[in-house]
């Protein structure tokens, strides 16, 4: 039986996504999300920013590369992957990455309040919730 390994994160792209190919030709897209958290500390509002590395494979990776631009808001559902290695001096290292299984790009709004994509934010959220519960 597998243990639960699931993550849902929303944020903004820190830079444009990077699309690469493995030696066997499989497409993989790498990008970083900045996710903000606000909390009160002694009566003042504090902001904490976390930066998370994400990888999306094959068709999802190609879509992320095509739609993703620095600053774009998105939601990623996926799993955590831990890479471990030893450097030449024998010191152990570890890195946690999010492997995307589903990505929703938030629509951009023009100055008149119209979305520049075909779906409204509410439609994207409804579709996302249906896919998660399916």
Examine residue 79 and state whether it is found in any structural domain, yes or no.
yes
Number of domains in the chain: 1
Q: Give the CATH number of the domain where residue 125 resides.
A: 2.40.50.140
Q: Is residue 34 part of a domain?
A: yes
Structural domain including 115 reads 7-133
2 located within any domain: no
The pLDDT-based confidence of 129 (bands split at 50, 70, 90) is low
Reported as a single tens digit per residue, the pLDDT across 96-122 is: 999 999 999 988 766 665 555 545 555
* Closest by CA position to 69, among listed 114, 27, 116: 116
Q: Examine residue 71 and state whether it is found in any structural domain, yes or no.
A: yes
User: What is the structure's pLDDT at 130?
Assistant: 64
Average pLDDT over residues 74-88: 96
- CB–CB of 96/74 below 8 Å? no
Distance CA 115, CA 113 (A): 7
């Amino acid at each position: 039986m597998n243990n639960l390994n699931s993550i849902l994160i929303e944020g903004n792209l820190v830079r444009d996504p990077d699309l690469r190919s493995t030696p066997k030709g499989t497409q993989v897209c790498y990008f970083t999300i900045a996710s903000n958290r606000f909390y009160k500390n002694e009566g003042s509002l504090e902001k904490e920013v976390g930066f998370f590395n994400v990888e999306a494979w094959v068709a999802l990776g190609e879509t992320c590369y095509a739609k993703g631009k620095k600053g774009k808001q998105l939601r990623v559902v996926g799993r955590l992957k831990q890479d471990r290695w030893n450097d030449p001096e024998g010191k152990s290292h570890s890195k946690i990455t999010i492997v995307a299984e589903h990505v929703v790009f938030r629509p951009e709004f023009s100055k008149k309040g119209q979305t520049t994509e075909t779906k409204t934010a509410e439609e994207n959220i409804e579709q996302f919730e249906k896919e998660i519960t399916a």
